[in-house]
Structure 1
Amino acid sequence: MSAYSKIEVSAPGSIMLMGEHAVLFGEPALACAVDVRLVVTLRPRPDRQVLIDSALGQYQGSLDNLVPMPALAFVLAVIEQYAAQLEQGFELSIRAGFSHTVGLGSSAAVTAATTAALAAHAGHSTAPEDLFSIALAAVHQVQNGRGSGTDLAASLYGGVIGYSLAPCEIRPLSGLPPIVLYYCGYKMKTPDVLALVEQKAARQPALYSGVYRLMGQTTQAAERAVCEQDWTALGELMNLYQGLMDALGVCDTTLAEMIYRLRAEPGVLGAKISGSGLGDCVLALGHVESELPWESIPVSVAATGVEIRYETN
């Protein structure tokens, strides 16, 4: 029997600060947790049934026969990682404080929170470093091996993290930069953006390799700026990285307009796409006073990552 009558896990959303695209080619990335959270509540059952209640759908199955459901693919992939090790089923409630349509790492947050809840249910370690490899395996299962895990690391650890893919290294950083986020009103799925960039890179492989190396060098300098809380330097590096994103072909007219309008604000030190591009969000460093014609997403850097609360029988 489980030692707990209820396990409640909250995980923050996340955004990429720097390292988009290049992280998949061995370069470092920077990401941060943001102060909007998703909550997963697990209640053990006496049988092996699995019931999931989520805004994305309702699910009923068994630990011995998990039927696929695309809307809950990340959650079910995590459950598959633990199914053979669990004696009891459970009821899982998922409540998000932000929309999955906006690029705040909702898939990473639900994967992180579900992994922590099931690790606790199984009596395993819930330390971030122990949860990460299991959660990343679930993401890769859903995305056919794709996904760097940067956003996952940010949700698990909180704050700002430096991240490298091979060999995998997660570096929690001390600075919490002031950020502003705007949503352009549409987004293209990351795998589709990656496919477009791959097609272009195939025609100019040497040049694209050079762009990725420059992205990595820029991100390394940005990591130092975060550690030193040198926000002026970080803003300059964000602008530089945006030029490299433009070189990859992932900046469109709307995003460019947003970026240059934000840079014109006296309180903004830098602005760039956050994420893979061709839609979604633009990130600014600093403060914005003007009313702008795009959806403002009120976020700040969250100092804490996954948080777990227990209730005992």
Structure 2
Amino acid sequence: MSVYSKIEVSAPGSTMLMGEHAVLFGEPALACAVAARLTVTLLPRADRQVLIDSALGQYSGSLDTLAPMPELAFVLAVIERYRASLSRGFQLTIQSGFSHTVGLGSSAAVTAATTAAMAAYSGQSTAPEVLFETALAAVHQVQNGRGSGTDLAASIYGGVIGYDMAPAGVRPLPGLPPIVLYYSGYKMKTPDVLALVERKAERHPELYTGLYHLMGQTCRQAEQAVRDQDWSALGELMNIYQGLMDALGVCDATLAQMIHRLRAEPGVQGAKISGSGLGDCVLALGVVESDMPWDVIPVSVAATGVEIHYETN
């Protein structure tokens, strides 16, 4: 058990650079951590009580019987995985520097931060690869085996990462590309978008298989562009990937307008949907000098992933 009087863990949000949809079909993805962080603070208790204070809800229970609470499903799934190693309870306070309504991977960030806090409290390894394995298992528990883990890997490792889903593999990459996100003002839930694409794919299975393969080829070249820190090439590949997203049927009129207006900016090298599509965010690579009529999410790539700080009496 931990000898610390306080454990504070922060984890960055994340965004997809490339690999949406195709990562679920064995192709690589490219993602990055962003400089908007979520913090989990753990205070040990002398009893077996578990108290959680979060904007999503308040929780009170016991290590002996963790009652379910959908709003905190990811947090409780992580605690469940460390419960056997804990002799005392604790209080968790969760504070987020960004809203869960925009696509910055808030669920992944809270899962990553909680996993690191519980690993530290139970005296277990906080190595990134260990945290990732445990956190991904918790996500799959909550989501019935679904979830690529790309955003989770970005939150834990930080910076830009290349990622393969099966078997899970994380490749930290050098360089911090200049990015900016714009929120469309609405979003469709990712499972609903995936279901819509699946129905389309059933009518043209060979074409969709080909699209996913092209997406994978594009993402591999984009990963090399990041390694070379060739942002011009990365921007070109983002535009190509966006064309493939459009072919999947996940780009609507609003997103298309946003993308083409951003591409018209002299300082923008590429623009595409970030996420599953049919709403949420558009990602631009470069600098946007003009005022745009959408909510800007001022982000930069975060060089560090999960950070753990300890206090002793």
TM-score by length of 2: 0.99
User: Aligned partners of 1:178, 1:108: CA distance in 2, in Å?
Assistant: 22
1:252-298 CA-to-partner distances (Å, cap 9, x unmatched) read: 11000000000000000000000000100000000001011000000
1:61-118 CA-to-partner distances (Å, cap 9, x unmatched) read: 1111111111111101111111122111100000000000000000000000000000
Give the conservation status (yes or no) of the 8 Å contact 2:250–2:278: yes
Which amino acid is 1:23 matched to?
A: V
| Aligned equivalent of 1:93 | 93
1:111-159 CA-to-partner distances (Å, cap 9, x unmatched) read: 0000000000000010110100110011111111110000000000000
Answering whether residue 22 of structure 2 is matched by residue 31 of structure 1, we say no
Which amino acid is 2:302 matched to?
A: A
User: Aligned partners of 1:77, 1:246: CA distance in 2, in Å?
Assistant: 36
> 1:190: Cα distance to partner?
0.7
| Aligned equivalent of 2:48 | 48
Give the conservation status (yes or no) of the 8 Å contact 1:2–1:88: no
> 1:217: Cα distance to partner?
0.2
| Aligned equivalent of 2:288 | 288
- Partner of 1:148, secondary structure, is coil
User: Aligned partners of 1:65, 1:191: CA distance in 2, in Å?
Assistant: 30
| Runs of 4+ more than 2 Å apart | none
| Aligned equivalent of 2:65 | 65
Q: List aligned pairs for 1:1-313, cutoff 5 A.
A: 1-313=1-313
Which amino acid is 1:226 matched to?
A: V
> 1:2: Cα distance to partner?
2.6
> 1:49: Cα distance to partner?
0.7
User: Aligned partners of 1:284, 1:114: CA distance in 2, in Å?
Assistant: 31
User: Aligned partners of 1:2, 1:263: CA distance in 2, in Å?
Assistant: 51
User: Aligned partners of 1:71, 1:293: CA distance in 2, in Å?
Assistant: 32
Give the conservation status (yes or no) of the 8 Å contact 1:46–1:88: yes
Give the conservation status (yes or no) of the 8 Å contact 2:2–2:120: no
CA RMSD in angstroms comes to 0.7
User: Aligned partners of 1:77, 1:192: CA distance in 2, in Å?
Assistant: 23
1:235-266 CA-to-partner distances (Å, cap 9, x unmatched) read: 00000000000011100110000000000000
Sequence identity of aligned pairs in percent?
Answer: 81
- Partner of 1:4, secondary structure, is coil
Give the conservation status (yes or no) of the 8 Å contact 2:42–2:90: yes
- Partner of 1:241, secondary structure, is helix
Which amino acid is 1:275 matched to?
A: G
User: Aligned partners of 2:83, 2:95: CA distance in 1, in Å?
Assistant: 22
Which amino acid is 1:127 matched to?
A: A
User: Aligned partners of 2:131, 2:165: CA distance in 1, in Å?
Assistant: 16
> 1:195: Cα distance to partner?
0.8
User: Aligned partners of 1:247, 1:76: CA distance in 2, in Å?
Assistant: 39
User: Aligned partners of 2:88, 2:149: CA distance in 1, in Å?
Assistant: 29
Unmatched tracts of structure 1, length 5 or more: none
Give the conservation status (yes or no) of the 8 Å contact 2:160–2:174: yes
User: Aligned partners of 2:167, 2:143: CA distance in 1, in Å?
Assistant: 20
User: Aligned partners of 1:3, 1:225: CA distance in 2, in Å?
Assistant: 45
- Partner of 2:5, secondary structure, is strand
- Partner of 1:299, secondary structure, is coil
